[in-house]
Amino acid sequence: MPAAAVTCIDLDYLGLPGAAVAFLVEIPDHEIAHRILVECGPEACRPKLESELARLGIEPDLIDAVALTHIHLDHAGAAGGFAARGARVLVHPRGVRHLVDPAKLVASSRRVHGGRFDRHYGEPIACPAERVESVEHGEVARFGQATFRAVETPGHAKHHHAWLLEHAGGRECFTGDVAAMLVPGTDFISVPAPATDFDPLAWDRSLAELERLGPDRLWLTHGGRIDEAAEFLARARQRVAEEAQILFEVAREPSDESAIERYRGWLHPRAEAAGVPEPMRHAFLGRAFMEMNLAGVRKLLKDRAEGKADAPRG
């Protein structure tokens, strides 16, 4: 049986090459081929994704399934368009209701992003309920002789799965945001800490679980193909830990401005030393990114104070 083929499709998110991708997985099965999208990007990028699929000779109604790592709109916003054409949508149990009725997800995102929402994401189409499948940790979706196994990986989001593809060509892991992000064209790992679910203790456990599973290759939604999986996962664990530490420190600053300036003074020199040019620092590590991460750690600290989240040990 031939191995599955993975094609990385750049979504040209926000007009930035390499900012976000979707993955087309084609699995030969005797006379047919199964076609699965892992991630589908925001609704604003669906025309780009569909045009790239057409360039590959694949119409949207030939997609058998869309496997989502989580329901943040830069990963899942276009799912409804494919579900409406018959694709199954595989998602964490916490995400099902938000795909069927995205109103709360959209309202929350509009509160955060304001006037930037339409450009960043676009209004998602609701998925038909009968097309959305709740997938628990460890469950397997089989396509021919290949399988996708859901691996619960909270830390960036509580509704987060990594997907482990096991096929004749080896074991590939689609990591969503749990292995963090790469600034395009560099090897600088950027750690997104959204205000809803950021939890560095859970995140470290998730990365440790991926290390234990030992995939041959990683596919980052914001970063693409990583061949040295073990080395990258170790680096990602280190980056999550150090990002959390500086965020806990700067969150104590007396004002938002002083917190941002201190955070920038820590983050940007490290990115510059890793070869991230100033325009890329502005685009990928700018004020919006830093404000998001500060909001994430402040929400975590509030939850800990109220007994809603694990406190650090030791």
Looking at the structure, do residues 230 and 285 belong to the same domain, yes or no?
Answer: yes
Q: Would you say residue 56 lies in a domain? A: yes
Q: Look over the chain and give the mean of its residue pLDDT values, rounded to a whole number.
A: 94
Buried b (16+ CB within 10 A) or exposed e, 167-203: beeeebbbbbbbbbbbbbebebbbbbbbbebbbbbbb
CATH number (domain holding residue 69): 3.60.15.10
Looking at the structure, do residues 54 and 184 belong to the same domain, yes or no?
Answer: no
- Mind listing the pLDDT tens digit for each residue in 31-50? 899 999 999 999 999 999 99
Looking at the structure, do residues 6 and 70 belong to the same domain, yes or no?
Answer: yes
Which residue range(s) make up the domain with 206? 178-314
Domain boundary residue, one of 102, 121, 136 = 136
What's the confidence (pLDDT) of residue 132?
Answer: 98
Looking at the structure, do residues 226 and 108 belong to the same domain, yes or no?
Answer: no
- Mind listing the pLDDT tens digit for each residue in 149-203? 999 999 999 999 999 999 999 999 999 999 999 999 999 999 999 888 899 999 9
What's the confidence (pLDDT) of residue 18?
Answer: 94
Burial group, residue 7, by CB count within 10 angstroms (0-12, 13-18, 19+): middle
SS3 (DSSP) at 20: coil
Looking at the structure, do residues 225 and 305 belong to the same domain, yes or no?
Answer: yes
What's the confidence (pLDDT) of residue 110?
Answer: 87
Q: Order of strands, edge to edge, in the sheet holding 65-67?
A: 5-10, 21-29, 32-38, 65-67, 88-91, 132-134
Looking at the structure, do residues 122 and 213 belong to the same domain, yes or no?
Answer: no
Length of the chain in residues, anyone?
A: 314
Looking at the structure, do residues 313 and 234 belong to the same domain, yes or no?
Answer: yes
- Residue 312: pLDDT band (50, 70, 90) is low
- Mind listing the pLDDT tens digit for each residue in 224-268? 999 999 999 999 999 999 999 999 999 999 999 999 999 999 999
What's the confidence (pLDDT) of residue 216?
Answer: 97
Taking the alpha carbons at both ends of the chain, their separation in whole angstroms is 50
Asked if residue 175 lies in contact with residue 220, where contact means CB atoms within 8 angstroms, the answer is yes
Q: Would you say residue 47 lies in a domain? A: yes
Q: Would you say residue 290 lies in a domain? A: yes
Looking at the structure, do residues 218 and 314 belong to the same domain, yes or no?
Answer: yes
Q: Would you say residue 101 lies in a domain? A: yes
Q: Whole-angstrom Cα distance, residue 43 to residue 79?
A: 8
Between residues 63 and 302, the one the model is more confident about: 63
Q: Tokens 């694709």, residue?
A: 87
- Mind listing the pLDDT tens digit for each residue in 77-105? 999 999 999 999 999 999 999 999 999 98
Domain boundary residue, one of 136, 166, 197 = 136
Asked if residue 27 lies in contact with residue 34, where contact means CB atoms within 8 angstroms, the answer is yes
Looking at the structure, do residues 132 and 182 belong to the same domain, yes or no?
Answer: no
What's the confidence (pLDDT) of residue 96?
Answer: 98
Q: Would you say residue 29 lies in a domain? A: yes
Domain boundary residue, one of 83, 104, 136 = 136
What's the confidence (pLDDT) of residue 310?
Answer: 64
Q: Would you say residue 131 lies in a domain? A: yes
Distances 41 to 62, 68, 231 between C-alpha atoms, Å: 18, 10, 27
Buried b (16+ CB within 10 A) or exposed e, 141-165: bebbbbebbbbbbbbbbebbbbbbb
- Show the tokens assigned to 168: 């004749």
Looking at the structure, do residues 104 and 185 belong to the same domain, yes or no?
Answer: no
Looking at the structure, do residues 128 and 220 belong to the same domain, yes or no?
Answer: no
Nearest alpha-carbon partner for 25 in 165, 226, 222: 165
Q: Would you say residue 119 lies in a domain? A: yes
Dihedral, CA of residue 192, residue 198, residue 202 and residue 204, to nearest 10: 30
Nearest alpha-carbon partner for 161 in 152, 174, 172, 148: 152
Looking at the structure, do residues 314 and 206 belong to the same domain, yes or no?
Answer: yes
What's the confidence (pLDDT) of residue 313?
Answer: 40
| Count of domains forming the chain | 2
Largest CA distance in the chain: 65
Q: Would you say residue 150 lies in a domain? A: no
- Mind listing the pLDDT tens digit for each residue in 264-304? 999 999 999 999 999 999 999 999 999 999 999 999 998 88
What's the confidence (pLDDT) of residue 109?
Answer: 85
